[in-house]
Amino acid sequence: MAIELPPTPDKPIPPHPSPDGQDLALPPGSALSQEATRRTRRSFIVGGLAALGGVLGWRYLLHRPDADGTPLPFRRVLDANGRLSAAYFRETRLAPEFPKSLAREPRQNGNAGLQTPLDAAAWRLLVEPYGGTTVREFTLAEIKALPRTEFTTQLKCIEGWSVVVNWAGVRFADFLNKYPIASRSGQPITDSTKPPADLAPYVSVVTPDEEYYVGLDMQSAIHPQTLLCYEMNGQPLTPEHGAPLRLVTPLKYGIKHLKRIGTISFTDERPADYWAEQGYDWDSGH
């Protein structure tokens, strides 16, 4: 008997190793270092109890009820490890970078939101400040006036292909440092690992015609490799690759690299996302 399965996205490509020599120091006060402190204290207590309990205690541990096939106390440690690695990824993980000489032209993939001809002179980036009502307008020249960041990373499409591409633009975090419109208090982002407490939790990015739209969690949006990108492989973006401004966020699949940004807004709830609505993972990290 044939079982009809709903269409599902391709299996994600397994994560590749992070570059060597990363600084493993934990940012003080971060969720990660608090967890580490808590666990140190906890292991001290657990160590004392184990010494007291000896073999009897050990037997008790092994005969506690199972959770997912693992004795409960061990399952708790596994879960804590899971939380730790999630915190580590959020705070310090970088996509691997490649020599610029390996960069290639990616195929044009996906043209939702690119159907109308681009009027480059009339284009503006529109940003709705968090908790505000007055939309801010930015010209491409104003965006290019901000600090430039360039890197060469892999663009991975969820369909199963990838290509090394050199990107240049403005870090979204640098944009929010100069224009502090993502926190209610108007505080800038001076350090993406220590964002203001009242920063919006989500960012919505939409094409000018609203045909393509993606949502990002703020942690990903202010990651040091997330760009408002205006150049690909040393040339201004062409219309089919997202001129005049596109998103680049290399820890996520290509579906999040929205081409031809129209409006950016900040939200309390997960914003609508074109491919998430088709059943793909909302985060789409790899």
Beta bridge partners of 283: none
Tell the smallest beta-carbon distance from residue 238 to ligand MTE (Å): 9
The secondary structure of the chain as a DSSP string is -PPPPPP-PPPPPPPPPPPSS---PPPTTSHHHHHHHHHHHHHHHHHHHHHHHHHHHHHHHHHSPEETTEEHHHHHHHHHHHHHHHHHHHHH-------GGG--PPPP---TT--SPP-TTT--EEEE-TT--SPEEE-HHHHHTSPPEEEEEEEE-TTS-EEEEEEEEEEHHHHHHHS--SBTT----S-TTS--TTB-SEEEEE-TTSSSEEEEEHHHHTSTT-EEEEEETTEEPPGGGTTT-EEE-TTB-GGGS-SS--EEEEESSPPP-TTGGGT--SS-B-
In total, the chain counts a number of residues equal to: 286
Q: Which is nearer to ligand MTE, 106 or 215 (CB)?
A: 106
Q: Which does 237 bind (CB under 5 to 8 A by kind): Mo ion, ligand MTE, none?
A: none
Residue for token pair 């590749």: 16
Tell the smallest beta-carbon distance from residue 116 to ligand MTE (Å): 12
* Binding flag, residue 278, ligand MTE (CB under 6 A): no
* Binding flag, residue 254, ligand MTE (CB under 6 A): yes
* Binding flag, residue 180, ligand MTE (CB under 6 A): no
Q: Which is nearer to Mo ion, 26 or 247 (CB)?
A: 247
Sites for ligand MTE among residues 203-242 (CB under 6 A):
207, 212, 241
Q: Which is nearer to ligand MTE, 112 or 272 (CB)?
A: 112
Tell the smallest beta-carbon distance from residue 59 to ligand MTE (Å): 55
* Binding flag, residue 252, ligand MTE (CB under 6 A): no
Question: Where along the sequence are the contacts to Mo ion (CB under 5 A)?
Answer: 157, 254
The secondary structure of 123-159 as a DSSP string is --EEEE-TT--SPEEE-HHHHHTSPPEEEEEEEE-TT
* Binding flag, residue 286, ligand MTE (CB under 6 A): no
Tell the smallest beta-carbon distance from residue 137 to ligand MTE (Å): 20
Q: Which is nearer to ligand MTE, 182 or 237 (CB)?
A: 237
What's the longest Cα–Cα distance across the chain? 78
Using CB under 6 A, which of 255, 265, 276, 286 touches ligand MTE? 255
Q: Which does 106 bind (CB under 5 to 8 A by kind): ligand MTE, Mo ion, none?
A: ligand MTE
Q: Which is nearer to ligand MTE, 199 or 286 (CB)?
A: 286
Tell the smallest beta-carbon distance from residue 209 to ligand MTE (Å): 9
Sites for ligand MTE among residues 99-158 (CB under 6 A):
106-114, 157
| Gap between the Cα atoms of 221 and 275, Å rounded | 18
Q: Which does 195 bind (CB under 5 to 8 A by kind): ligand MTE, Mo ion, none?
A: none
* Binding flag, residue 171, ligand MTE (CB under 6 A): no
Residue for token pair 């666990």: 39
Q: Which is nearer to Mo ion, 157 or 276 (CB)?
A: 157
Q: Can you give the binding site for ligand MTE, defined by CB under 6 A? A: 106-114, 157, 207, 212, 241, 254-255, 257-260
